[in-house]
């Protein structure tokens, strides 16, 4: 469905190192993947690269196949017909991205009018259905409301509804729970659990949220993907020492579940593994040679421990 192959991003303005390095992720149709990583690890840049929404200073390499079409090779004009229609992007701080001057129903319905030729009336009726799918309550009332009349959590739900309104089959969401309290985080998690049939790639630095939404987990650290696995495998047997450190640091009740392991600034310039500096298992090879992304029976990990 969405096949991200060897995507790297470098900013010509910030010459030193790549913001994203050689990330490959295959999202099977109808699956949900949570991408976790510390601030600055390259998560947002990866999503923006997939949508081709980065500024001109970004040099992107690799390919992003959406049902076989390489998005990176399309013109801006061609992309505009695809964005919001076949692939949607819910930006960080999504709830604040709503237009304050437009009623909720019209905002959710707009992509239907634009891309599907719906009448205004039909688009609003569809907005009600979408909000109902996300259990907003009093949906007929809220479609007529302006964004400021909704709570933060409701705005976030409306934003997600907008993301899927036109029937996009692939949804990319960037930190949809950032700044929300625990109840609202739960609400957003429910929204994503109601998604059925859509393919989701959700960026987060909240490990609990990742566990409740993702069927697959991908871990980024210092621009690289360090681990990728099915959720159960990841939480039961994390392979990478970084992943283990994250999970070990989680309080059992999971109230404070944010990752707190930002890479040191010089991690990017090392010759070998970027985590070696902090790794309790490191050996000589780790400092000398960049570890490959190794496939251990479908569970992938960038660590020399697992090389033959």
Nearest-CB residue for Mg ion: 44
- Shortest Cβ 125–ligand ADP spacing (Å): 37
- Shortest Cβ 33–Mg ion spacing (Å): 16
**CB closer to ligand ADP, 43 vs 103:** 43
Distance CA 79, CA 85 (A): 10
Residue 13 is a binding residue for ligand ADP (CB under 6 A): yes
Distance CA 226, CA 292 (A): 9
CA distances from 106 to 33, 100, 134, 303 (A): 30, 12, 17, 49
Residue 45 is a binding residue for ligand ADP (CB under 6 A): yes
Could you please report the per-residue DSSP string of 31-69?
-EEEEEE-TTSSHHHHHHHHHT-S-TTEEEEEEEEETTE
- Shortest Cβ 56–ligand ADP spacing (Å): 10
Distance CA 147, CA 197 (A): 28
Interacting residues with ligand ADP between 248 and 307 (CB under 6 A): none
Neighbouring C-alpha atoms within 13 Å toward the C-beta of 307:
11
Residue 73 is a binding residue for ligand ADP (CB under 6 A): no
**CB closer to Mg ion, 58 vs 108:** 58
Identify what 11 binds: ligand ADP, Mg ion, none; CB under 5 to 8 Å per kind. Answer: ligand ADP
**Eight-state DSSP code of residue 268:** G
**CB closer to ligand ADP, 57 vs 99:** 57
Identify what 193 binds: ligand ADP, Mg ion, none; CB under 5 to 8 Å per kind. Answer: none
User: Binding string, 25-54, against Mg ion, x = CB under 5 A?
Assistant: -------------------x----------
Closest by Cα among 244, 260, 206 to 34: 206
Do residues 18 and 224 make contact, with C-beta atoms less than 8 angstroms apart? no
- Shortest Cβ 24–ligand ADP spacing (Å): 17
Structure tokens at 235: 């939480």
Q: What is the 3-state secondary structure (H, E, C) of 180-200?
A: CCHHHHHHHHHHHHHCCCCEE
- Shortest Cβ 210–Mg ion spacing (Å): 14
**CB closer to ligand ADP, 139 vs 174:** 174
Residue 42 is a binding residue for ligand ADP (CB under 6 A): yes
- Shortest Cβ 230–Mg ion spacing (Å): 24
**CB closer to ligand ADP, 40 vs 167:** 40
Helix (H, G, I), strand (E, B) or coil at 6: strand
Distance CA 193, CA 120 (A): 29
Interacting residues with Mg ion between 156 and 175 (CB under 5 A): none
Q: Choose one: 8-16, 113-121, 131-139, 233-241; the region binding ligand ADP (CB under 6 A).
A: 8-16
Length of the chain: 308
Contact footprint for Mg ion (CB under 5 A): 44
Binding site for ligand ADP (CB under 6 A): 11, 13-14, 19, 37, 39-45, 55, 57
């Amino acid at each position: 469905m969405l096949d991200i192959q060897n995507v790297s991003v470098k900013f010509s303005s910030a010459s030193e190192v790549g913001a994203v390095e050689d990330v490959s992720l295959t999202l099977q149709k109808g699956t949900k993947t949570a991408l976790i990583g510390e601030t600055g690890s390259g998560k947002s840049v990866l999503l923006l690269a997939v949508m081709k929404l980065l500024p001109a200073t970004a040099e992107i390499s690799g390919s992003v196949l959406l049902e076989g079409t390489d998005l990176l090779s399309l013109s801006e004009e061609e992309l505009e017909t695809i964005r919001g229609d076949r692939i949607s992007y819910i930006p960080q701080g999504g709830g604040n991205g709503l237009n304050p001057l437009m009623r909720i129903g019209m905002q959710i319905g707009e992509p239907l009018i634009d891309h599907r030729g719906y009448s205004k009336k039909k688009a609003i009726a569809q907005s009600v259905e979408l909000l109902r799918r996300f259990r907003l309550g009093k949906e007929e009332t809220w479609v007529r409301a302006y964004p400021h009349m909704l709570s933060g959590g409701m705005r976030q739900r409306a934003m997600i509804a907008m993301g899927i309104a036109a029937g996009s089959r692939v949804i990319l969401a960037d930190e949809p729970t950032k700044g929300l309290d625990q109840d609202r985080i739960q609400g957003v998690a429910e929204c994503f659990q109601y998604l059925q049939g859509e393919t989701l790639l959700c960026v987060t630095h909240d490990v609990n949220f990742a566990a409740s939404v993702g069927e697959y987990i991908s871990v980024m650290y210092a621009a690289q993907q360090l681990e990728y696995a099915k959720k159960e495998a990841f939480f039961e047997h994390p392979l990478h020492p970084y992943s283990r450190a994250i999970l070990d640091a989680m309080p059992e009740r999971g109230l404070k579940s944010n990752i707190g392991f930002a890479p040191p600034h010089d991690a990017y310039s090392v010759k070998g593994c970027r985590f070696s500096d902090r790794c309790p298992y490191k050996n000589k090879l780790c400092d000398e040679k960049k570890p490959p992304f190794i496939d251990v029976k479908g569970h992938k990990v960038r660590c020399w421990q697992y090389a033959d």
